[in-house]
Amino acid sequence: MTPGRTVRRLATEADVASAARDARDLALACGLSGVEAQHVATAVSEVALNAIKYAREGAVELARSERAGRRGLTVTVRDSGPGIVDLEAAMRDGVSTGGTLGLGLPGARRLMDDFTIESGPAGTVIAMARWAGGLLATSLPAAYEVREGTGGVALAQPFRNGLLLGVAAGARADDVVRSWRARAWQAPTQLADACRAALDPAERLGCALASVSALDGRLTWLRAGEVGCVLLRDAGAVTLHPPAGPALGRDGGGLLRAATVDLRRDDVLVMAAGVGGDPDREASVRARFARGALEPRRPVEGVERRSTMEEP
């Protein structure tokens, strides 16, 4: 067997468990963190279970990979079953043709950086990958505008297969945003935790942070302190707000719990920090989302395909 490459036949749940353990071990060997490796193992388990459930048997291939200077693990799960009749439905949460909760494929997609399905009468092939520290998106799921101002500092930058948006207000807002830029693969709650830890004991910080996933059209966001943040939907009607809270502080004050919503095409997120209500001193970021969940594509030569994988 080629070093760094493992192929395991799938026929029983014991095979699935073994493949998941192999995936976790090889992910760790590739330099992924313990959490990242567990995500890979969970995704492999979910997809492999689908293979034996619907096709009765299959195979999983694990291989070390490298892209853009990052090490990672690629996973290919194949079966020779009848194929997925409605792939669009199968990739939606809560939909299942087998009487289960239907969380396997959508959940696996969210756990991995890359995810592709090809399914037809000859069988199904699912290719996935997870990279140490994540990969930045090559195409962003939104059009955005960042406005400079003295009331705060705003940013918009590529995130893990998506977009990171943020606004900070406080004495060291510049330092906070600079640290966000250096941690481009961390989620909003991790970024808020990091900037809280850097605060002086009596210092307070206002912030709004959001990550937008190009994989599943989801927005995860939070707000703390005097930074406005709102999602506009349906011709400007304000329908969704992030959880509100006091300013972040070293004493544990402030909100680190994030909310997650499914985006629609043309939803608009606005985050702003100002001084005394003066719009000329306001720093803001405004993003209009180009899409929500993965959009339908035509089957190619009898094979229906969904892809969120980047080209090497």
Q: Residues 173, 259: one domain? A: yes
Tally of domains in the chain: 2
Residues 10, 125 share a domain: yes
Please compute the mean of the pLDDT values over residues 262-283 and round it to a whole number: 82
The answer to whether residues 90 and 218 belong to one domain is no
Within this chain, do residues 116 and 17 fall inside the same structural domain, yes or no?
yes
Q: Of 80, 101, 133, which residue sits at a domain end?
A: 133
**164 and 146 within one domain:** yes
146 & 285 share domain:
yes
Q: Is the domain of 163 the same as that of 223? A: yes
Which of 61-65, 98-102, 227-231, 300-304 is modeled with the greatest confidence?
Answer: 61-65
Task: Give, as one character, the DSSP assignment of residue 257.
Answer: -
Hey, CA dihedral for 107, 108, 109, 111, is it positive or negative?
positive
Amino acid of residue 308: T
196 or 98, greater pLDDT: 196
Q: Rounded to whole angstroms, how far apart are CA atoms 132 and 123?
A: 30
pLDDT band at 20; cut points 50, 70, 90: very high
Domain assignment present for residue 312? The answer is no
45 inside domain: yes
Mean pLDDT (the chain) is 80
* Position 5 pLDDT exceeds 90: no
187 lies in the same domain as 115 = no
Q: Do 153 and 52 sit in the same domain of this protein?
A: no
CATH code, 64:
3.30.565.10
Domain presence at residue 249: yes
In a domain, 223, yes or no: yes
Rounded to 10°, the helix 188-197/173-181 angle is 130
The tally of CA atoms less than 13 A away on the side-chain side of residue 306 is 23
Q: pLDDT band for position 21 (50/70/90)?
A: very high
Q: Which of 80-89, 90-99, 221-230, 255-264 has the highest mean pLDDT?
A: 221-230
Single residue among 78, 111, 133 that ends a domain in this structure:
133
- According to DSSP, the β-strands at 278-289 and 268-275 are antiparallel
- 84-98, 194-208, 266-280, 291-305: range with highest mean pLDDT: 194-208
Helix (H, G, I), strand (E, B) or coil at 267: coil
* pLDDT recorded at residue 304: 36
pLDDT digits (tens, 9 = 90+) for 120-176: 888 999 999 998 877 666 667 788 899 988 889 999 988 877 889 999 998 888 998
Residues 272 and 155 in one domain: yes
297 in a structural domain: no
Give residue 95's domain range: 5-133
Residue with more model confidence, 42 or 102: 42
- Longest Cα pair distance anywhere in the chain, in angstroms? 67
Residue 299: inside a domain? no
**Would you say residue 256 lies in a domain?**
yes
pTM here is: 0.63
Dig out the tokens for 91 from the structure.
């990739």
pLDDT value of position 1: 44
Task: Check if the beta carbon of residue 270 is closer than 8 Å to that of residue 229.
Answer: yes
DSSP-based three-state secondary structure for 144:
strand
pLDDT at 312 > cutoff 50: no
Residue 303's pLDDT is 34
Residue 301, in any domain of the structure: no
Look at residues 93, 112, 133 and tell me which one is the last residue of a structural domain: 133
62 & 118 share domain: yes
Same-domain pairing of 152 and 261:
yes
* Domain CATH code at residue 156: 3.60.40.10
